[in-house]
Structures are given as structure tokens and as C-alpha cells.
A and B are shown apart, each in its own frame.
Chain A
Amino acid sequence: MSAVAMSSTRVVEQTDPRVNQRIERQTEINVNYYANHPELIDDRIRQLDAEWDVERVLEMNSASLTLLGLVLSTRNRSWLLFSLAIQGFFMQHALQGWCPPLPVLRRMGFRTEAEIQSERYALKALRGDFAQGADPRRLSQAVHH
């Protein structure tokens, strides 16, 4: 395990392989369902655009708890250690991928942005977004919308 992990897979590498498999299996089920219901793909892509990825959840939780610790430190300064520990772990998450709440969030089914995008592009392909062939400029438009 290197000190600074790959960006796209650092969370997946720090997740129990069985949990990763379950998340991927769910994505496969989704893709299969929407392949059979192509009229629902537009709605599903809007849902995916709104889905909270694991980074967004961690940013919100760590900031809330750290602020709580800072406020409580006005009564008892040892609460600063609480804020410090959370921020230390959050930094570890940024560099290396793991932090204490991650196993729980992954079991709850929170995906990385790369995992959400993999469902999104499977659906775009099924919708025929890339059917016009591989003209680079049209392709740049097609992946963007």
C-alpha cells in the first residue's frame, strides 16, 4: 500500500472486496434494467447527476463533526483533540483512501464518483449517444451532455 494512492480507485482499494462486488453487482442490475426500459434512461441519468458520492458525504460529515468539536472546545478544550482526530483521518482519506466511517458508508451503498460515472456511461451508450462513430469533436460533445 503506497502512502499516496491512485485517485480513481483509492476508495475501492480500501473497501472490503465483497462490498465492492455488491456495489458493482447493483450497478450491473441497474444497467440491465434500463436496457430493457430505454424510455426511463433520461430520468435515471438525472438521478445519477443528483446522487451523493462518498466524497460529498465525507466532506459534510467531517465538517459538521469538526465544527461541533470546535464549539464544544469553548467549554472544555480537550474537545480540540476530537476535531484534530477527525481532520487527521480526513487527510488520511484524501491521501490514502481510508478513514473510519468509510466501511460503514460503503456498506450503505455510497459509491465513488467514478463508480457513478460507470453506470452513467453504460446508460449513455445504450441510449445511442455514441452511435455516430468516433469523430473526435462530436465525441467530445457526446460525452459532455
Chain B
Amino acid sequence: MVTTSAERVPANTSEKLNERIWDEMEHRIVFYAQHPELIQNRLEELDREWDVERLIETEGPTMTMLGIFLSITGGRKWLLLPLFAQGMMLTHAIQGFYPMLPLFRALGFRTQAEIAEERYALRILRGDLESIGDAGQGTDVRASVAFLASRVRPT
């Protein structure tokens, strides 16, 4: 019933949509492999991209606050709207299901983990993680190269 964090959204998305999101990423990786000079721009776009949680966290409170306001002016039956919206938010947090998720995924909204797939593929294309495969180095050097090259905001 409690879904793994990594699986929460993909497990509640149709296989077709999951594959489409991945295919589109693969196409972009092929494109940026041929246009490495555009990688930096793309990485900045990825930092700005709205992930599906952020969208849900904007849409959920909007519906909930709307329902509460309507219940004050238009009768208490409107409280069913925030009740439903927050019941669904709780379901989404624990199990992953959310009524708007199929729509948001069809519109192409990704999880932060999916965005990270593209971010790290681009960094590898750029050569950020190149020296890690070097077995001649000491373990501590490899560890610190891996850590530094993988930071959210590399220095």
C-alpha cells in the first residue's frame, strides 16, 4: 500500500506514457550529443522545469482553498471539494494515485527523478564524470570526483 518513493508516480502512470516520456528524453540526449555547445542551456532549463509534484502542490491547495471559500458563501456542501482534494493528496503522498495524474503525465510533466536522468546524462556527455572510471586512482579520489561532479549545483 505504501509505494516506494521512486515508483510512486511511474506506477500510477500508464506504461505507454512512461515510455513516451523516456523516449523523448532519449531523443534529446541524441540531439545534445551532436550539439554539445547547447548542453549548458539545457541544464539551466532543467533546473527551471516544473516537476509533477510541484504542479500537484499548486493545483491541490487551489482547489482546497476555493472549496473553503465557497463553503462560506455558498453553503457547507462545498466542503466536500476540499475534503476530496485533501483525501486525494494524502493518497498521493502514501500510495501515489492522484486523479489529475494521468492528465499531468499526458501533458509531459515529469518527476524530479526523471529530470535527473536527463541532467546526469547531459553531464556525462559533457565529460563531467569521465575520470571516475579510472581504476588507477585511489578510492578516495574517485569518491570525491563522483561526489563533486554529481552535486545539484556543481561548483
What residues make up the interface of A, taking CB atoms closer than 8 Å to B? Answer: 6-9, 12, 24, 27-28, 31-32, 34-36, 48-53, 55-56, 58-60, 62-64, 66-67, 70, 73, 80, 83-84, 87-88, 90-91, 93-95, 112-115, 117-123, 125-126, 128, 130-131, 134, 136-137, 139-140, 142-144
Interface size on B, residues (CB 8 A): 69
B4 adjacent to A50 (CB under 8 Å):
yes
Decide if B8 is an interface residue (CB 8 Å cutoff). yes
Interface of A is mostly: helix
Residue numbers in A under 8 Å from B60 (CB-CB): 87, 90
Say whether, besides A63-B86, A90-B61, A131-B133, A140 and B5 are in contact (CB < 8 Å).
no
Interface of B is mostly: helix
Considering the complex, give the chain A residue whose CB is closest to the CB of B8. Answer: A56
Decide if B143 is an interface residue (CB 8 Å cutoff). yes
Say whether, besides A7-B49, A114-B152, A125-B132, A83 and B82 are in contact (CB < 8 Å).
yes
Decide if B12 is an interface residue (CB 8 Å cutoff). no
Alpha-carbon distance between A84 and B86 when the two chains are bound, in angstroms:
12
Cross-chain contact of A67 among B6, B53, B83, B125 (Cβ < 8 A): B83
Decide if B106 is an interface residue (CB 8 Å cutoff). no
Residue numbers in B under 8 Å from A139 (CB-CB): 29, 121, 124-125
Alpha-carbon distance between A90 and B33 when the two chains are bound, in angstroms:
39
Say whether, besides A56-B93, A126-B132, A35 and B140 are in contact (CB < 8 Å).
yes
A8 adjacent to B46 (CB under 8 Å):
yes
Decide if B149 is an interface residue (CB 8 Å cutoff). yes
Cross-chain contact of A126 among B51, B61, B82, B142 (Cβ < 8 A): B142
